[in-house]
A and B are shown apart, each in its own frame.
Chain A
Amino acid sequence: EPEVTQTPSHQVTQMGQEVILRCVPISNHLYFYWYRQILGQKVEFLVSFYNNEISEKSEIFDDQFSVERPDGSNFTLKIRSTKLEDSAMYFCASSEEQSTEAFFGQGTRLTVV
């Protein structure tokens, strides 16, 4: 069964450092997303991406964040100058069409120390 894969599963970084979280969406999917979930809180939308550009972003997704689809398979989230409050589980998701369900990767747990 096709699945969304994310690497690494856990990333520890020092405050102020840059991190890149990587995702391989399901191959025939056209819509890609990043979400985050702070421990004990709800899943929060960060950004959606379609046709090689951001289609929507939340107020969380400020200038510190960027996304890229560097090739035909990878979808990355870059966080510049990480802060302690960026510690969370980051989920990548993809969907085939705009109205269909999204499938989530297993997440990257980011810990900023």
Chain B
Amino acid sequence: QVQLQESGPGLVKPSETLSLTCTVSGGSISSYYWNWIRQPPGKGLEWIGYIYSIGSYNSGNTNYNPSLRSRVTMSVDTSKNQFSLKMRSVTAADTAVYYCARDVDRKRFDSWGQGTPVTVSS
């Protein structure tokens, strides 16, 4: 049973870069779609983007939510079985619980991390 765990700072200043990492255990990070999804307080879920890990290379195909594309970058580290999110120029609107999740065969998000809260405030 694959398990995912998010990690990163819980507080980020406005205009700075939010950086989160998701560690995958119990399975390989290769050949799956790995996603970031967030949930602002009291609101619904918002898909941020995915990275598809190709073999043992630290590269992969990515696709991002059009509304966030200009500020988001995802990367993967196969040696550590981790993937990461960087979101630049954050504002208070980026305050949310951030989840990492696995997408199986483009059909569903079958495994989720527990979520990590991030607050954007000075």
Q: Do chains A and B stick together as partners?
A: no
